Chains A and B, each alone.
Chain A
């Protein structure tokens, strides 16, 4: 018997006997014989713990990981530094083995930390209300599009082509099955093309979706997009990088009605793409229209402060087919990691991490241009990620860098054929000047 099954065979037999049953078979009498599986599943032979450990270590070694390489690859998933405290605390069983906090009396830890998380997201984004998290930044955008259409009772969203290509794909999937039209608008010199946006606005446009900094790392024309959207009584949905918000104007101030974003940068490892978390924040007037869980403050029978899941009538377990979304489980533990990360870095640390990324990214950019092997693509301000045009094909360039223990930037031609040779390079606070100089040196040699 497996170490994960508590009862011994003798105990199991005793229990059966006590119920007046003869064998395990008697427990499955309701399953018609024709659908019973009478042979073993075709699965690998079970591994003991030592066998499992060595098998998995071998498998892990087949992945070249960022701890052995300098990582200049971003494009939506960033290699920011994670303090040791984060994993230490989220590894406490009381956090990670608990379910959704349905019984508040024994879930105050989860509930209070979500309340703190909601506060931090509101502070960063400049919005009034945040939920407890979504699956990731892209699905948060999909849900934001649906919410906007429901809120303003219109059926079309305009999405900037400077939004992450995968996010645009997810928005498309979420919208097309609901009969919502998704129209993309273009960019000019790395930022959204305001004229193109204006020309595509119509009386059925529910929302304009913009990412800031955008997929190219460029600071977007958020305010201008908001003005156009609002003039047509549509909403502005902004997808933002939370680290950038230590420096950049909160999207709420720039006129965004719904602010979402990928929260991975906040204390969550790259994890080959997941689990991450999406944050989701709105103005107060949309409080009852947002998807997902929300925690609120209240008092107990003795007047003591406490926290509960609230505004639950929006949700699927009550409103069923009329719910604002079907989301149930979200990414609570990833949101907890973000909360702990933001606590540790705090007001000053987050700004330092953002400024270090900004400075190092600009240093890298300037040095790359100086090699003469790369040319500027856009003349627009950027934060921690930028595009340069490479003379050598990007795949060959990255291959060469890999030999020097460097994971190079994203090959932009995969998603933007109009930018051939485009190399999207991300620089966090992690790489040292020495590592950057090696990158520049190797990239310049080719």
Chain B
């Protein structure tokens, strides 16, 4: 079998990897059941392989990936913490996987209780009144939150509030999500400490402002100490303050968005609450809101009355539904077991550990890599590889060289306001020993920039493929395998 074969290329007509029962009901002609005009003439070209072929193929594919269990994964903004195995095992209980979303409520009381509890616990953690579990991912939560804000203003007759303020350092999803809710965005600059520029913020406030989307700690990993003033400015202008929870791993049990003055919060259960990222999902992006925004949450919410839990669809002011059924329930199960194993102390220790690890890395590397904001950071630190860039080696090259050391590189070229940005988020899962290994590799690469730049420029050297031609991929898109004529 060719090492880089696609599943289609190892297909042999007649091979099979399934076993289905014979038809035990009287068989009728398919054409008698469905008129021929609706039937397809040629079968889709799907693989024909043995079960072992399939198992080997996907096992081999998996081996080409780097996961959190493989090694250090300090991808900034993504909170690649350890995904506890007990979460996986428990979420796979038949009582969670084999239940239909339209089963009678009396037959799924365990699932409804779990959702109800999760609403309560996430509300407590964020300082909100109620939480919807419906959004499927962080960006989906952002969109939901933005729609809630719009519905709130419209309900109050303030239809002129069509503009959402987004700082220039925000995640790309922020402006895109605001637009999904029908807002126009206004960008405000960051000040020279990476926070919201208060004067710039004041200057855009008007009765057309629907709110401000903020990540705190921000994408530079810095806590905006002016948060109370920011909240005051936005609220005085009649706006709503939105909390992007991508960086919530810094503040669990330390500070609550609700207490900071935020009105709407989304969380990423696949980041902060240890559910795995799955190679790009499924995630879960619950949204919490303060009391006056509760009527606008998506429907249904789980309520409890006379000893039983039920789905409440009677929510006349709700924005409606953003997804079928009740969200990525099975992802919520994993976050639920995580919170139950951590408890209040544990969650605070998570954030302390995450912040400590980030600061440790910043401290140990800042003599070699420029730290544009040299102050205590939160759960992640942002370097600039400008010094190395001046010597002809870019952040991308450094990231690729890290692959040779067995590390997943940090996030690069984000946030946009830092040149040659390298954003490191170690998480609390990592020991000092693994941080030291990473620090050692980073220092060696810096040395190589002077002594052996080719080594860095041509990296990676021992991955299954080298640097891939993204220009070719975009110029002449090949987006599927084609059967040979």
Contact = CB atoms under 8 A, between A and B. Distances in A.
Contact of B225 (A30, A166, A179): A30
A71 B98 CA distance: 10
B468 A104 contact: yes
Contacts of A49: 86, 341
B111 A63 contact: yes
Interface residues of B, number: 200
Interface string B96-134: 111111111001111101100000010011000000000
Interface stretch (B40-48, B196-204, B382-390, B440-448): B40-48
Interface string B463-485: 11111111011100111110000
Interface in B1-29: 4, 6-8, 11, 15-18, 20-21, 23-28
Contacts of A436: 25
Nearest to A16: B356
Nearest to B179: A321
B428 A6 contact: yes
A443 to B, nearest CB: 16
Contacts of B39: 247-249
A254 to B, nearest CB: 9
A89 B67 CA distance: 14
A95 B17 contact: no
B472 A298 contact: yes
Contacts of A164: 324
B40 A326 contact: no
A79 interface: yes
Interface stretch (A151-159, A198-206, A350-358): A350-358
Contacts of B80: 97, 99
B328 interface: yes
Contact of B100 (A79, A96, A136, A333): A79
Interface in A151-183: 164, 166-167, 169-170, 172-174, 176-179
B11, B181, B352, B480: most-surrounded residue (chain A CB, <10 A)? B480
B400 interface: yes
B161 to A, nearest CB: 13
A124 B109 contact: no
Given A104-B468, A296-B478, A407 B63 contact: no
A228 interface: no
Interface in B302-359: 319-331, 337, 339-350, 352-353, 355-357, 359
B95, B408, B429: most-surrounded residue (chain A CB, <10 A)? B95
Interface string B269-312: 01000101111111100000000000000100000000000000
A271 B344 contact: no
A174 B432 CA distance: 46
A318 B61 CA distance: 29
B100 A94 contact: no
A106 B281 contact: no
A62 interface: yes
A170 B298 CA distance: 10
Interface in A125-150: 128-130, 132-133, 135-139, 142
Contacts of B102: 73, 75, 77, 410
Interface in A335-350: 336, 340, 342-350
B409 interface: yes
A273 B181 contact: no
B65 interface: yes
Given A24-B356, A297-B478, 18 more contacts: A4-B341, A4-B350, A4-B428, A26-B376, A41-B125, A57-B95, A60-B90, A66-B99, A96-B276, A98-B279, A129-B479, A270-B100, A319-B176, A330-B281, A343-B54, A346-B18, A347-B45, A407-B103
Given A31-B255, A299-B468, A73 B103 contact: yes
Contacts of A320: 172, 175-176
B65 A66 contact: no
A83 B468 contact: no
Contacts, number: 682
A108 B44 contact: no
B48, B82, B324, B330: most-surrounded residue (chain A CB, <10 A)? B324
B376 A107 contact: no
Nearest to B400: A105
11 contacts: A46-B345, A93-B67, A97-B276, A112-B4, A139-B322, A164-B324, A178-B182, A271-B96, A271-B97, A333-B280, A343-B54
B62 interface: yes
A310 interface: yes
A75 B102 CA distance: 8
A85 B54 contact: yes
Interface in B167-201: 171-173, 175-182, 185
B139 interface: yes
B428 A135 contact: no
B20 A77 contact: no
Contact of A271 (B62, B330, B481): B330
A293 B137 CA distance: 14
Contacts of A404: none
B278 A351 contact: no
Given A93-B68, A274-B282, A2 B346 contact: yes
B259 interface: yes
Contacts of B16: 346, 348-349
Given A89-B58, A329-B270, A329-B283, A359 B474 contact: no
B99 A270 contact: yes
Given A329-B139, A329-B283, A139 B178 contact: no
Given A31-B254, A43-B339, A330 B259 contact: no
A278 to B, nearest CB: 9
A11 B360 CA distance: 12
A398 B104 contact: yes
A254 B432 CA distance: 60
A94 B101 contact: no
A103 B399 contact: yes
Contact of A138 (B30, B43, B180, B323): B323
Given A133-B281, A321-B175, A65 B45 contact: no
A329 B279 CA distance: 9
Interface stretch (A229-237, A300-308, A368-376): A300-308
A135 B325 contact: no
B280 A100 contact: yes
Nearest to A112: B61
B70 interface: yes
A26 B375 CA distance: 11
A8 to B, nearest CB: 9
A193 interface: no
B279 A103 contact: no
A329 B275 CA distance: 13
A170 B325 CA distance: 10
A105 B460 contact: yes
B357 to A, nearest CB: 8
A4 B342 contact: yes
Given A11-B432, A60-B110, A118-B479, A362 B28 contact: yes
A328 interface: yes
Interface in A233-251: 245-250
